[in-house]
A and B are shown apart, each in its own frame.
Chain A
Amino acid sequence: MTLKLGIFYFLAAFTLWAAAVVVLGKNIVRSAVALIFGFCGMAALYVLLDAEFLAAVQVLIYVGGITILLLFAIMLTSRIGVTTARVVNDQVILSAIAAIGLLVGLIYASTSGIPAMSGPPRLPETAPFLGRALLTTYALPFEAVSVLLLAAMVGAIVLARKE
């Protein structure tokens, strides 16, 4: 049990470090690479929460798809290796106050609003359960998301195409 807690703290520190580099880093490429590490840490946390299928999906879609897309966009829009002098705009102080206020509220709600729960015994397999749920109970949202993805794909092609 204490080993699991130690693993959690290690993964949490790793993910937080990566997220901090993403948000505060001066070099945009370095931010994108830190985002890959952050997504991997998040996938490991999903494994710790007995969600193996979602961990695999996280690695496939975020690490393999979205970050590659982001890196392509970075290479198309900025000079690599250039660290701009100013990476933040003029609203830093206001934004920091808003973010810290939100953080305090979230921590207060997480620690005081929720009773201690030990959790049910773990499911043996989550992927077959999720597949069945997606095609029976959640069939309509599943189809709606499919249409949304198609529309987004067509929209992205139309927006990115040269006239």
Chain B
Amino acid sequence: MIPLSHYLILGGIIFSLGVFGALTRRNAIAILMSIELMLNAVNLNFIAFARYLPQTMLQGQVFAIFVIAVAAAEAAVGLAIVLGLYRNFKTVNVDEINLMKW
């Protein structure tokens, strides 16, 4: 049996990579992809805990389904916002969009 900490460390590494990408990428779509990576890392942890904790009600898997549904909603709205940004500014680089900054 693979130790639980292996899965948790893998999830932690992917989550940190996602945090780094979300904080540093200039392209708004790349930021959305980094956020999807973070949500996936969290899902991996949920499913690992659902497998290893000594009760078998599968709460972790149920919660992972909700996370996937919210991630789909987030991706749809986020990409619609990116398309709106592109229509108004002709760019999707978030550091060139400084309308509300002075």
Contact = CB atoms under 8 A, between A and B. Distances in A.
Nearest to A102: B16
Interface residues of A, number: 88
Contact of A156 (B5, B58, B70, B79): B79
B12 A118 contact: no
A118 B6 contact: no
Interface in A33-50: 35, 38-39, 42, 45-46, 48-50
Given A23-B34, A66-B71, A118 B24 contact: no
Contacts of A77: 29, 82-83, 86, 92
A97 to B, nearest CB: 10
Is chain B's binding surface mostly helix, strand, loop or mixed? helix
A14 B8 CA distance: 16
A138 B68 contact: no
A120 B92 contact: no
Contacts of B9: 106-107, 110-111
Interface of A: 1, 4-5, 8, 12, 15-16, 19-20, 22-24, 28, 31-32, 35, 38-39, 42, 45-46, 48-51, 53-54, 57-58, 61-62, 65-66, 69-70, 72-74, 76-78, 84, 86-92, 95-96, 98-100, 102-103, 106-107, 109-111, 114, 116-120, 122-123, 126, 129-130, 133-134, 138, 141, 145, 148-149, 151-153, 155-157, 159-160, 162
Interface of B: 1-21, 23-27, 29-30, 32-34, 36-37, 40, 43-44, 47-48, 50-58, 61-62, 64-66, 68-77, 79-84, 86-87, 92, 94-95
Given A15-B10, A119-B4, 15 more contacts: A19-B17, A31-B30, A32-B33, A35-B33, A49-B47, A51-B47, A61-B68, A70-B29, A84-B26, A95-B23, A103-B13, A106-B12, A111-B5, A116-B3, A117-B4
